[in-house]
Amino acid sequence: MDALSLFDPERFIILGTNSTWARLFGGNVLSVRDVALDPTRVEELLRAVVASGKRERASRGSWRRPDGSQFSADFSVGVHAIGGTKLGCLLIEEVGVAAAAHDADDEIPAEERSIPDGLSLAVRDRIVRTARQQQALLKLASADDQDFEEYVKAILKVDADTLDVARASYWKLGENHASIVLETVYDKSKGAFDTPGAELLSRDYPNYFGALQTKTIIPAHDAMTDPRTNELAAPYLGPLGIGALLDVPVFLRGELVGVLCHEHLGPARGWTLDEQQFAMSIGQTLSIALAARTRDEVARTLRRSESKLAEAHSALKRALRPGDGRLTDRIIAGYRVGQLIGRGSLGEVYRAIDLDNDDVVAIKVLHARAMENPENVQRFFREARITQSVPSEHVARIYDVGTFDNDTPYMAMELLEGHDLGWHLRRVERLALDQVVELCDHTARALAAVRDAGVVHRDLKPSNLFLVDALPRVWKVVDFGLSRGETDPYETVSDEIVGTPAYMTPEHVNGGAVDHRTDLYGLGAIAYRALTGRAPFEGDLHEILRAVVMDHPPPVSSLVRDVPIEVELVLAIALAKSPRERFDTVEEFARSLADAAYGRLDEATRTRGWRVYRARRS
């Protein structure tokens, strides 16, 4: 009988054998794994194979069994390329009586000693397939599974290459098991992935969905006639030329959640038992990945809830409900002061009436204790001066600035009726894409005017973008308390973070120079928060500051499913670590975001986005 072994041609380590080899050299198939090959003649022939470019070379040699006895036999050695892996094959042919591990009384008749050519080839193919499948599973076990979407793509590619099928795809089971939706497909002929979003409804294909409900593998050797899959012939299998299907159920905590589909193009074909077992192993790998992602999503939800709670607590501390304040009913600087409508750590905001024209305005004043620090007074007047210098309908207007009783600073400003973005996000978690496009468009107009005035806002965050309760909808940028001129010398405040960490730029955190691209980054971070329901970076202060400088936000696609990849590419440019890699202007960012949202992003920006996106993932 022929003795067959497969081995690693670089390390000369056996990967698999047939039973004849195991009987000759001791033990069984498993116990002879990791045994170094001998004799050296094999290695010499192997080098000759590689040098000649041929697949196989034959010779004759002497072989030693574990008991010390020897026998001579013809053998062949070759190297076969399987995907990107090389596999060595050593075949000792027609092992004679002297080599057989039997006594003379137990000798196998000569007519039964040799393996028929067809069976020998089948045995060899089976061992080659098994070794290839084992290597594929080991490759997946060592793959990076942090990014679920990318890990699924890695699974599908390894799956298609190993089983040598035209396409491998993952379909997600819909609500109430009423449909399956194509999530990702790997097309081996193109060497590329696609997410076309095809959907099959259970009411149209009851037999196929009935087979899925059995939660067992569906090896349709002839998919066009198999009663489980022939319903798919006209609308799906026929147009694509699919002759055979191998569908594997995917589970999460025992519940069916998806299908791993293997599509063979061409005529019907059989699915061997080892191929079906490998496909089931891939399905189990997908199930494990889904379970890990679910645990991560639960953890992220908890973190977001904690973050929202902290935001709400902070907002509660900063503001009071409307009511009487210490200045209510007083007349200061020509304004009759009404209800207190807001209070912060440095001052208060009141509704007031301008006695000259009866216009309703907002009056902002500093607390007496805040005036004890001269820098607070300087910051108050600087905010007023800078805001007045920015002519835009998307910036709250300042009408008047001055002092009253004991030089207490005040500013009379546009009264805004509505709520800030932080308030909205605490109620709906995330905005629709078209609303984010509108938000960025209005804010970009404001920031363009800010830039043209030679100013950097430096503290863009959800609470500083205000949606006015009016039609048409208008977003306004407020609170220029941390703003400064682009040419002003950079100042630092001891023991104080100047800005909001989660929306700060790396250069800001590092104490470097800031310019209009700092505000562009801030708007990009706000768009990310509004689209995904979480800030780009989360954690305590130290963790956030480190992440702003060293890390990248989680991919948008890992948090939400309904945002086009082009939007993620635009955000990748806006949130680039280096200012030079960001958009040149905030208007370009807002325009590109709108183009991406509505399917008209130009190729140059798309290519640029992919370059930044892939660089940060490498």
- The label of the residue with tokens 């001055």 reads 402
- The label of the residue with tokens 């039997």 reads 102
Q: What is the DSSP string of 84-110?
A: TEEEEEEEE-S--GGGSSS-GGGPPPH
3-class DSSP assignment, residue 188: coil
Let me know: does 258 contact 152? Beta carbons within 8 Å. no
d(CA 338, CA 324): 8
CA atoms within 13 A on the CB side of 456: 24
Token pair in block for residue 381: 């007047």
H/E stretch holding 360 reads: strand 360-366
Sequence-separated (6 or more) residues with CB below 8 Å from residue 402: 333, 409, 410
Bridge-partner residues for 218, per DSSP? 247
d(CA 120, CA 107): 21
Residues serving a catalytic function are 459
* Cis amide leading into 472 (omega within 30): yes
Q: In 3D, which of 398, 385, 442, 396 has the Cα closest to residue 418?
A: 396
| Secondary structure of 165-183 in HEC code, one letter for each residue | CCEEEEEEECHHHCEEEEE
d(CA 23, CA 16): 13
Let me know: does 526 contact 421? Beta carbons within 8 Å. yes
d(CA 119, CA 596): 58
Q: What is the DSSP string of 391-434?
A: --TTB--EEEEEEETTTEEEEEEEPPPEEEHHHHHHHHSS--HH
| Long-range contacts formed by 379-383: CB under 8 A, 24+ apart | 379/481, 379/482, 380/346, 380/347, 380/409, 380/411, 380/481, 381/409, 382/480, 382/481, 382/483, 382/484, 383/411, 383/479, 383/480, 383/481, 383/483
